Amino acid sequence: MNAFLEVRSVAKAFGGNQVLRDVSLQIAAGEIVGLLGPNGSGKSTLLNVITGFTPADAGEVEFDGTAIERLDAHRIVRTGMARTFQLPSMPSRMSVMEVAMAASTAHHGVWDTWLFTRGARQAEREARDRAEQLLAELLLTPVRDLPASALSGGQKKLLGIVCALMARPRMLLLDEPTAGVHPNLRRDIVTALQRLNAAGMTLVIVEHDMHFIREVCTRCVVLDRGEIVASCRPDALASNERVLQAYLGAAARPSTSALEAA
């Protein structure tokens, strides 16, 4: 496989809790990869390591030929990789539109900003146009002037996607984009992600909803206790011995129901 994203032998512990163990993973350009696993298996931690929010103890991460494991999160965004969060928190004093515009990476110098030069005005116009377009695509235009903190949980997830897309990423990593989202909004998210992928974006999605996984993903990677135990097509999950073991081993836990739905 020609890897767009390559994770090599990544390890991470929090105190005595070894959360990721020798994780290696390759993702090709254009894939939609579902990252699955029981609660606490390390999915969000892996996303945090890849996107620079948590430093790994060991291992390398390469994105489109660039080593990114030592870069800060804001520098990683500039390489073309963006992410959303499981529980997006929104500022209470900013409108939806202002939050979207603030996520723009089209920056200019301090003097430009201070003097509000032609360059600064141009950057602001571009950010506004892009924010308007993305808010429309993700059905948030009717709430664009509301305080972002007043949005529903599902709408905050959509705004999280808008903010990530403001950076014009080539790869987007999403942490549980449909958790707690109403079925109508869920459908909108599915449609939006499929459209982004059709336009060339590579997607990595942490998700427990197996219907969503089967509908959207081209491949699934399964983590169990910090190790990758399977990489297969969504329709092969239910017959994969290691996957069954991962979920049945957690039979007493609620997340098992996710695989039962497969």
| CB-based contact 194:172 (threshold 8 Å) | no
Residue 17 in contact with ligand ATP, rule: CB under 6 A: yes
| Min dist. Cβ of residue 17 to ligand ATP (A) | 6
Angle at CA of residue 241, ends 17 and 20, nearest 5°: 20
- What is the contact mask toward ligand ATP in residues 123 to 142, using x (rule: CB under 6 A)? --------------------
Closest Cα partner for 43 from 260, 227, 256?
227
Nearer to ligand ATP among residue 38 and residue 80 (C-beta)? 38
Q: Rule CB under 6 A: which of 156-175 touch ligand ATP?
A: none
DSSP 147: B
Q: Rule CB under 6 A: which of 183-202 touch ligand ATP?
A: none
| CB-based contact 169:81 (threshold 8 Å) | yes
Sheet strand arrangement including 17-28: 17-28, 3-14, 58-63, 66-67
Closest Cα partner for 243 from 221, 213, 226, 261?
221
CA–CA separation, 129 vs 189, rounded Å? Answer: 21
| Min dist. Cβ of residue 1 to ligand ATP (A) | 24
Using CB under 6 A, count the residues that bind ligand ATP.
Answer: 11
**Using CB under 6 A, which of the segments 33-41, 77-85, 163-171, 195-203 binds ligand ATP?**
33-41
Instruction: Give residue for tokens 């990721």.
Output: 20
Nearer to ligand ATP among residue 23 and residue 165 (C-beta)? 23
Nearer to ligand ATP among residue 5 and residue 49 (C-beta)? 49
CA–CA separation, 32 vs 134, rounded Å? Answer: 20
Residue 178 in contact with ligand ATP, rule: CB under 6 A: no
Instruction: Give residue for tokens 């512990």.
Output: 13
- What is the contact mask toward ligand ATP in residues 35 to 74, using x (rule: CB under 6 A)? --x-xxxxxxx-----------------------------
Token pair of 188 as six digits: 């909108």
Token pair of 120 as six digits: 């600064």
| Min dist. Cβ of residue 221 to ligand ATP (A) | 12
Nearer to ligand ATP among residue 37 and residue 169 (C-beta)? 37
Query: Using CB under 6 A as the criterion, which residues of the chain lie in contact with ligand ATP when the complex forms?
Result: 14, 17, 19, 37, 39-45
